[in-house]
Structure 1
Amino acid sequence: MSSPDHAGVVFFDVDGTLVPGTSSSLHLAGFLGHRDELARAEDAYAAGELDNRQVSELDAAGWAGVSEERVSGWLDGLPLVAGIAEIAWCRRNGLAPVLATLAWSPVGGHLAGRFGFHAFGGPRLETAGGRFTGRVARHFDEYDKRDVALTQARELGLAPARCGAVGDSRSDLPLFASVGLSVAFNASAGARAAATVTVDDADLRSVLPALARMVSATGRRP
């Protein structure tokens, strides 16, 4: 049985999608002091030369000793795609907006609270006494991203065919292959090849026509 409140779910990637032209980790690493090193590691991940675990451990080490409160302040300046407030459109039309991301959990929590995402998943940093230890508490790769997203859909009583995903890169490919609608938004060649729809625009509202067709397929009128 599907949820009476939700006709479907739309999973949104964060880095490169909601955070354009960079990543939330790079934004934070600029304050933490290891931005250049992390940028090289992220490029190596995109090229398939490093795995997610290696990049996460390198990044986490730079967080050692920093307070959770301080990071929260840095996230207020996170660069975001134009039109992100239209996440509200999803809720008005019966689609649960969910963050499906490899961004650290402070980022997911910040965006969920700020824009009203239904839920989020992602990797976690270890903390002790309100400060980060420099270690990873939970690793989270592109397959975890898919599996957690589909679990979240099942908890709402929704099959993968009733799910959509909006993303841009390698980390979105397993989820793209598992849902009914996949939107490659300002995406890499690999994501474009895997997606059912490709959208290039500086404003997130440009994906709404594809999502409206998803709503219509459920019998609702967007």
Structure 2
Amino acid sequence: MTRLHVFDMDGTLMHGSAAAIEISRQLGLEREIAELERAFAARELTPARFAALAVELWRELTEEQVTAAFEGAPWMDGIRDVWAAIRARGERCAVISLSPGFFVERLLTWGADAAHGSLWPSVPFRDPVDPAGILDADAKVRIADELCAEYGLTRADCVAYGDSMSDARLFSVVPVSVAVNADHHVRDIAAYAYAGRDLREAYELVGTAG
């Protein structure tokens, strides 16, 4: 059976952190991004507004700092192993995240078949954010549908992995889901739940299930 495994990034593949936090740490802006993260979690900011404010914060961001943020992030153990196992079974794996595409797409080198993030201006930022390019929870479903069409699959063939409110919509439309170090928004509706630092253990919950 061929399936598509869809992974969230922030809080799921990255343990207890997010791209915005790791990037801000490189710039010494931990306090400022923590306030934006709090407002976003409280639904006081839309994804597009969060992105617009983050771009203003990160005006001095360089490619070298993005690389340092990516390489220094607290990634879950075993990500490459899980994706290699998925592909060895003839299945597909993809990352869909609301975070900047220039960060998310780096995961392609780790073995993901596809990696989709929000469309941000190029680093260093000289242009404002285009709200139309910023993903939201509904966009995760749309992109998963597009990937299914590309791979000759349907939603019934999908497994979703996520941790928070932005994953709930996708969890609600696929038959198998894994809440990874998750909050109640997805933990309460997931088929499986995992807490820990090793993605291999989360994958084992569904890795060979039909």
TM-score (norm 1): 0.86
Q: 1:72 touches 1:106 (CA, 8 Å); kept in 2?
A: no
1:48 to 36, 39, 43: 43
What is the aligned length? 207
**Range with greater deviation from structure 2 (154-163 or 6-15):** 6-15
For the structure 1 residues 150 and 131, does the alpha-carbon distance in structure 2 shift closer, same or farther, using more than 3 Å as the test? same
Task: Name the aligned partner's letter for residue 19 of structure 1.
Answer: M
In 2: Cα distance, 1:73 partner to 1:56 partner: 20
**Secondary structure class of the residue paired with 2:6:** strand
1:90 match: 86
Q: Could you tell me how far 1:70 is from its partner in structure 2?
A: 4.2
Q: Report the equivalent of 1:117.
A: 112
The whole-number CA distance in structure 2 between the counterparts of 1:33 and 1:124 is 24
Match of 1:155 in 2: 150
Q: Which stretch shows the higher mean deviation, 19-28 or 197-206?
A: 197-206
1:188 aligns with: 183
RMSD: 1.8
Q: Does the 8 Å CA contact 1:185/1:198 hold for their aligned counterparts?
A: yes
Q: What is the identity, as a one-letter code, of the residue corresponding to 2:129?
A: V
Matching residue's letter, 1:90: I
Does residue 99 (structure 1) correspond to residue 95 (structure 2)? The answer is yes
Task: Tell me, in whole angstroms, the C-alpha distance in 1 between the residues paired with 2:186 and 2:3.
Answer: 22
TM-superposed CA distance for 1:209, in Å, is: 2.5
> What is the one-letter code of the residue matched to 1:142?
A
Q: How does 1:60-71 map to 2 (within 5 A)?
A: 60-71=55-66
The CA distance in 2 between the partners of 1:7 and 1:109, in whole Å, is 23
Could you tell me which residue of structure 2 aligns to residue 220 of structure 1? none
- Uncovered stretches (5+) of structure 2, i.e. residues with no partner: none
Alpha-carbon offset, residue 65 of structure 1: 4.5
**What displacement does 1:188 show?**
0.1
Gaps of 5+ in 1: 1-5, 218-222
Summarize the alignment of residues 1-222 of structure 1 with structure 2, pairs less than 5 Å apart. Answer: 7-86=2-81, 87-113=83-109, 115-127=110-122, 131-133=124-126, 135-137=128-130, 138-214=133-209, 217=210
Separation in 1 of the partners of 2:188 and 2:125? 38
Q: Is the 8 A contact 1:61 1:134 kept in 2?
A: no
Percentage identity across aligned positions?
A: 30
